[in-house]
Amino acid sequence: KFEYLRFEKDSWMAKEIQTQTHIAVEVESIDEVLPICDKVLLEPTVVNENCKIAFVLRDGVVLELMEIK
């Protein structure tokens, strides 16, 4: 699936999230993946009772980490 994100001019989201294409990756545990990332762009966030996400930068690529229960 494709997701289109649009941001207000004064958005608080990290510039990398706003300006770069990202890849969503399902992971077993976000907390285990964070230490091997170069930069956390959006701290782990609970989306709903079944999903937690975080945005990170790894090797110059923006990744959306998705932990699904």
Domain edges within the chain: 15-68
Query: Is pLDDT above 80 for 1?
Result: no
Determine what percent of the chain falls in helix, strand and coil, rounding each to the nearest 5: 15, 45, 40
Q: If you classify domain 15-68 with CATH, what class do you get?
A: alpha beta
pTM exceeding 0.85? yes
For 5-63, what is each residue's pLDDT tens digit?
A: 899 999 999 999 999 999 999 999 999 999 999 999 999 999 999 999 999 999 999 99
Is residue 53 within 8 A of residue 5, CB to CB? The reply is no
- The pLDDT assigned to 54 comes to 98
- Asked whether the predicted pLDDT for residue 2 surpasses 80, the reply is no
Give the pLDDT of residue 4.
83
